[in-house]
Amino acid sequence: MLACLVTAGCGAEGDGGGAGATERSAQEILDDANEAMSELTSVTVEGNTIKVGSSSGRSSRLTTDLDSRCTSEVTWDATGAVLEQIRIGETDYVRPNRAYIENWSGKPMAGPQNIWFKTPVSDAQPGDGLSACPRDFTSFGTAKKGEPTEVDGTPAIALLVTDKSVKEGAYTFYIATEGEPYILKVAYKGTDYRTTTTYSAFNKPLDVRPPAKSLDASKLGE
């Protein structure tokens, strides 16, 4: 689904989207940003999704090396469910709270809480809230320049991106115009839901380690 591709980015070297941003086309700025984002060694991605006309939403925070090591936390507003995750290679360490387990299984939770479970990445299922470490930074749709602005104090240019597959919604990409032309924020407004995705901590060192204690989920019930 297109909404899952809001992790796209732009990039060029050195002066970013700043010098020359007014001369270059919106598509050139977006393509440059894609390249810069694709060359990152780490990034933190924070997302928030809200269903229009409802208090139902989901928030998430992912810190990743864009390859095989990442940490994430996802919270579902309506149920209070929270899922923490550490992914290292082909192994996930997950710590669901009571609300997550009861909502996912449909049964009351018994036993201790706040436990990390070790499970293979191959056991991940669609909709379970687990995150993949890689991100695909690619262009889509038609880009049009907006106005200069700032994102958390960083100068940026807004790009309005529309796509024929999303007839009643549009994305706004905010590209840094000083330094590297990283994507700072992507906002989507549609008739059914709205999302905001922000990017920060570019190329910061990561310290992704397994939890000190965990239970092997494959051995539960033996």
Tokens representing residue 37 in the block: 């984002």
Residue with token string 């086309």: 25
Q: How many Å apart are CA 130 and CA 42, to the nearest integer? A: 18
* The pLDDT of residue 67: 97
Burial class of residue 173, CB neighbours in 10 A (0-12, 13-18, 19+): buried
C-beta separation of 184 from 10 below 8 A: no
Nearest to 43 by CA among 208, 199, 207, 209: 199
Helix (H, G, I), strand (E, B), or coil: what is residue 99?
helix
pLDDT in tens, the chain (222 residues): 223 333 333 333 334 444 455 588 999 999 999 999 999 999 999 999 998 877 789 999 999 999 999 999 999 998 999 999 999 999 999 999 999 988 887 777 666 678 999 999 999 988 888 999 999 998 888 999 999 999 999 999 999 999 888 778 899 999 999 999 999 999 999 988 999 999 999 999 999 999 999 999 887 754
pTM (2 d.p.): 0.85
* The pLDDT of residue 164: 82
C-beta separation of 154 from 86 below 8 A: no
* The pLDDT of residue 7: 35
> In sequence order, what are the beta bridge partners of 173?
159, 186
Q: How many Å apart are CA 21 and CA 159, to the nearest integer? A: 11
* The pLDDT of residue 145: 97
- Helix H or strand E segment including 116: none
